[in-house]
Amino acid sequence: MRKLNIAQVSPLWFRVPPKGFGGVELIVSRLTEGLVKRGHKVTLFASGDSKTKAKLVSVVKKNLSDLKIPLLASGYSILNLIETFSRQEEFDIIHSHIDKFDFIFRAHAKVPTISTLHNPIWPYPLLKKTKSGLYHDTEGVLSAYARFPKLPYIAISNNYIKNCPIRLNFIKTIYPGVDIKRLKFNPKPEDYFVWLGRISPVKGLHIAIKIAKKLGIKLLIGGCPIREENQEYLEKEIKPHFSKKIKFLGEIKSDKEKSELLGNAKALIYPLLWEEPFGLVMIESQACGTPVIAFKRGSVEELVKHNVTGLVCKTEKEMIKAIKKIDNLERIECRKWVEKNFTIEKMVENHEKLYYQLIEKFHR
C-alpha cells in the first residue's frame, strides 16, 4: 500500500514525549514515531519543545504546563486545531488526540479524520470546585458531542465505550502500547510493593497505604499531583503516613527508573475508586513481570488476567488476601500477556490498518 501523509494532533499541556507525567502525550509520541518508522510522512502538531522524527508544527514555543497555564485554558487547544485544519489538504488523514472541540473542525473537514478519546468527556469523580468557581460543563460538553453522532472515534478500552453517557460512533478499540524494550523483565523481585501514578483520591493511594500499614509490608510510592486539590490530598491525607516502610519517591520520570521500581516490586497495588478507561501503569508493571492487585473498576478486567497476571478484587479484605498469595503467580506470564496484547508495534499496526479503511471509505 502507498505511504500516507498523516497529521497527529497532540494536546499542548506537556511536550511530546513528556519528561514525566503526560500519558496522552506519551502515546501520541509512540504512535507518531512508529508511523514514521513504517515510512509514512507524519506531521505532529504539538508544543514547540517536543522531540520527534516527524515534521513538528507548533502554535506555542513551550508546553503549557511549563508556562504555568491552567488545564482549563481551552483556547490553546482551539488554536492548535485551527492550525491543523488550515493545512488539511496536505494530509490523507487527520488524527486528533484532543478530547474537546475537535468535532467542530472534523464535522466540516475535506479529508478523513479520526479522534481518540483518551480521557472521559464526562467529569472525573470527586472533582472539586476550583477557586474560579468553575465546574466541568458536563451537560454542555455532552450536548455538543451529541450534535455530531456520525463522526468516528477510537476508544482506548471497551470499558470507555460502556461508560460513555452518550452514544458515539466508536469504530474501534485500540489499546495504548508500551515500549517492551525499555521495560526490563525481572523474575526475582525484592521484598516491597509499589504504588505508581497520578496522586489523586480516585487512584486510591490512601487505601494502598492503609492496607500496607495493616499488613506491615513495605510500600514504595511514585507519582505527583497535577491539580490543586490533589496537592492538598497529598499534604493532608498521604504525607502524615510516611515512615521507614511507607516511602515517597516523588515523580518517576525516566523509563529506567520506572522499570527498576516496578520490576523490583512483588506487585503493583492499584485500588482504583473510579471507572478509569485505561491504566497504563498496569501494563508497564506486567511488562516488568510484576503482577497487579487491583479493584474491579474501569478497564482493570481488560488489562489484568485474573489469577494469571494479577488478582482482581472487589473489597479491601479481598485485596489483603490477594497480597498474601501474590507469590503463587508466575511472573513470566505477566510479560507474555503484554507482549501479546499491549506493545507499541501492535498499537501502530492497528492504527495504520484503520487509517487505510477510513481513507478508502471516505473516497468511495
Q: What string of DSSP letters covers 274-293?
A: S--S--HHHHHHHHTT--EE
Dist. CA 5–CA 23, nearest whole Å: 25
Number of residues that this document lists for the chain: 364
Q: What is the pLDDT of residue 176?
A: 97
Average pLDDT over residues 79-90: 97
Confidence of residue 282 (pLDDT cuts 50, 70, 90): very high
Owner of C-alpha cell 478530547: 99
Helix (H, G, I), strand (E, B) or coil at 95: strand
Termini Cα distance of the chain: 17
pLDDT tens per residue across span 37-52: 999 999 999 999 999 9
Superfamily the domain 5-177+343-362 falls into: Glycogen Phosphorylase B; (3.40.50.2000)
Q: What whole-number percentage of the chain has pLDDT above 70?
A: 94
CA 211, 214, 218 angle in degrees (round to 5)?
A: 75
Residue 187: which residues within 8 A CB-CB, separation 6 or more? 289, 331, 332
pTM: 0.92
- The two domains 5-177+343-362 and 193-341 share their CATH topology (first three levels equal): yes
Sheet strand arrangement including 193-198: 246-250, 219-224, 193-198, 268-270, 292-295, 310-313
What's phi and psi for 231, nearest 5 deg? -65, -40
Mean model confidence pLDDT for the chain: 92
Dist. CA 207–CA 213, nearest whole Å: 10
Q: What is the pLDDT of residue 121?
A: 84
Confidence of residue 139 (pLDDT cuts 50, 70, 90): confident
Average pLDDT over residues 132-138: 51
Q: What is the pLDDT of residue 21?
A: 73
Q: What is the pLDDT of residue 189?
A: 97
CA dihedral 198, 204, 27, 343 (to 10 degrees): 140
Confidence of residue 123 (pLDDT cuts 50, 70, 90): low
pLDDT tens per residue across span 178-190: 999 999 999 999 9
Q: What whole-number percentage of the chain has pLDDT above 90?
A: 82
- Write the single-letter amino acid at 269: I
Beta bridge partners, 19, equal: none
Percentages helix, strand, coil for the chain (3-state, rounded to 5) are 40, 15, 45
Q: What is the pLDDT of residue 120?
A: 87
For the cut 80, the answer to whether the pLDDT of residue 136 exceeds it is no
Q: Give CA separation, 348 vs 51, 115, 353, 362, in Å.
A: 18, 15, 9, 21
Least confident piece of the model among 212-226, 279-293, 328-342, 343-357: 212-226
Contact 313, 294 (CB under 8 A): yes
Supply 330's cell numbers.
508466575
Please identify, in words, the CATH class of the domain defined by 193-341: alpha beta
Q: What is the pLDDT of residue 99?
A: 80
Q: What is the pLDDT of residue 129?
A: 45
Confidence of residue 71 (pLDDT cuts 50, 70, 90): low
Q: What is the pLDDT of residue 305?
A: 98
For residue 154, give the DSSP letter. Answer: E
For the cut 60, the answer to whether the pLDDT of residue 125 exceeds it is no
Q: What is the pLDDT of residue 126?
A: 43
Beta bridge partners, 115, equal: 96, 153
Query: Hey, where are the domains in the chain?
Result: 5-177+343-362, 193-341
